[in-house]
Structure 1
Amino acid sequence: MPALLPSVADAAGLRARRRELLAAAKLYVCTTARTAEGDLADFLEAAYSGGVDIVQLRDKGLEARAEIEALEVLAAVARRHGKLFSVNDRADVAALVGADVFHVGQGDLTTAQARELLGDDVILGRSTHSVTQALEADADPGLDYFCVGPVWETPTKPGRAAVGLGPLRAVAATGTAKPWFAIGGVSAGERLDDVLATGASRVVVVRAVTEAADTEAVARSLRARLA
């Protein structure tokens, strides 16, 4: 079993450990609370066992109390595996559950606002949808990583136009200072091949893992290709 990631109470070295794990991260998965399936803990165990580096809970239908309960499950599994877990959009919830990672979109909290609420230990990430936004995120000293996409249209982001592979090539060519992830419709097979061919080396996936018949096997296959 990997060493546990330090708890929020272990202040010394927490920031450095989180960033060390981020630097090594290749596979980032977003999931709902899996209320319909009723298998959140089992799904998370399988995902992390298969090599997923970061799991984000993203479930817009949850009230705050239910989100916190689901995140407590996520936090416990992440700690056991020595991996990172992420909270989407809600800084208050992120603070309450001791999130490793806090992720925001273009219209959400500014970096300064998120840092004021969460402090310096939490990893901050932002979604970007163009080369300009990606480079702005890379230049932002308060951000730790960013995502570029959606590469393909995806039902998890209805109404969001796909940006295609071009921005991935452009961002990869700049030699960014920060880790960054391709996101949006990425799946095993040709699509992952196309993403890797741009120079991108990290991906965020949703359905490729959350809808897999064998979560652990699919995660392991994806992580091996990204390695």
Structure 2
Amino acid sequence: MTESTRAPSVPAGPALRSARTEKLRAARLYVCTDARRDRGDLEDFLHAAYAGGADIVQLRDKSIDTDEEIAALRLLSRVAAEYDALFAVNDRADIAALVGADVFHGGQHDLSPARARRLLGPDVLIGRSTHDLDQARVALEDPDVDYFCTGPVWATPTKPGRPATGLEFVRAVAELTRARPAAEPEPRAVPWFAIGGIDETRLPEVLAAGARGVVVVRAVTEAPESRLAAGQLRSLLPA
């Protein structure tokens, strides 16, 4: 497999960042998946997720080694390009740089957004996980954060030991973002996504609490028909 990174559809620089930012702001359905080694169907799954309506797909798999992760991400990069969609790397900014990632996502105990930005440069979008209102506020005000996630709204086995934040946290973040324009004459638009235990039955509650975008895992990765599951979720989300 070649070591070259994906050739961007637009030149690197302001145009590339602008194109990625536009896609991020329109994104509503963000899917996280492992490398699906137990099924051996990663490529088919990625096509199904994007065709169903996923705007971003992130590979998150702690069980594979670095070479396997890079190979899986190069596949993800190629499929994302076919759908003119975004792909994300979790935790490893060095790997994000190697594969030419659109998006790098880090947690509270990972590389800071400022350090990730120094490594990745201005064109890669940077996301941050938040678990309380103070963390959300910091992310909202951080110039190196392009989006953030809030949760887990419900407890989930993908984040063992992490207590649920509940819908009240989603409501609080929605209010925080709504109130921001009144406090700042020219606020920077920062998209955010609710995450954690969200599926088709719970999605209406999350939207009613104020979220416009969601991150899902099992609702798509464990669905009998991944494309259908992604499509059903996307149809419930705002345009």
Q: TM-score, normalised by structure 1?
A: 0.95
Distance 2:12 2:205 in 1: 41
Distance 1:204 1:6 in 2: 27
Q: For 2:199, which of 184, 187, 191 is the aligned residue?
A: 187
Query: What residue number does 1:173 align with?
Result: 175
Runs of 4+ in structure 1 off by over 4 angstroms are none
The alpha-carbon deviation at position 9 of structure 1 amounts to 7.8
SS across alignment from 2:95: helix
Letter in 2 for 1:212: A
The alpha-carbon deviation at position 111 of structure 1 amounts to 1.3
CA distances 1:1-60 after superposition (whole Å, capped 9, x unpaired):
xxxx96188214110000000000000000000001000000000100011000000000
Contact 2:10 2:16 in 1 (8 A): no
Distance 2:55 2:11 in 1: 21
Q: For 1:196, which of 207, 210, 224 is the aligned residue?
A: 207
Q: Does 1:149 align with 2:151?
A: yes
Percent identity over the alignment? 59
CA distances 1:149-196 after superposition (whole Å, capped 9, x unpaired):
00000000000010101110011012263100000101111x111101
Query: What residue number does 1:87 align with?
Result: 89
Distance 1:44 1:53 in 2: 11
Distance 2:161 2:190 in 1: 28
Q: For 1:76, which of 55, 75, 78 is the aligned residue?
A: 78
Structure 2: unaligned runs, 5 residues or longer: 1-5, 181-188
Q: For 1:161, which of 149, 159, 163 is the aligned residue?
A: 163
Query: What residue number does 2:233 align with?
Result: 222
Contact 1:8 1:98 in 2 (8 A): no
SS across alignment from 1:117: helix
Contact 2:150 2:194 in 1 (8 A): yes
Q: For 1:46, which of 45, 48, 52 is the aligned residue?
A: 48
Q: Does 1:11 align with 2:12?
A: yes
CA distances 1:63-113 after superposition (whole Å, capped 9, x unpaired):
000000000110000001000000000011000000000000001111110
Letter in 2 for 1:202: G
Letter in 1 for 2:68: A
Distance 1:53 1:138 in 2: 21
Query: What residue number does 2:120 align with?
Result: 118
Q: CA RMSD in A?
A: 1.3
Letter in 2 for 1:200: A
The alpha-carbon deviation at position 197 of structure 1 amounts to 0.9
Distance 2:155 2:113 in 1: 27
- Pair 18,6 (structure 1): closer, same or farther in 2 beyond 3 Å: farther
Distance 1:6 1:65 in 2: 20
SS across alignment from 2:166: coil
CA distances 1:109-144 after superposition (whole Å, capped 9, x unpaired):
111100110000000000000011101100101110
Q: TM-score, normalised by structure 2?
A: 0.90
Distance 1:32 1:217 in 2: 19
SS across alignment from 1:74: helix
SS across alignment from 2:128: strand
Distance 1:226 1:181 in 2: 12
Query: What residue number does 1:138 align with?
Result: 140
Distance 1:156 1:58 in 2: 10
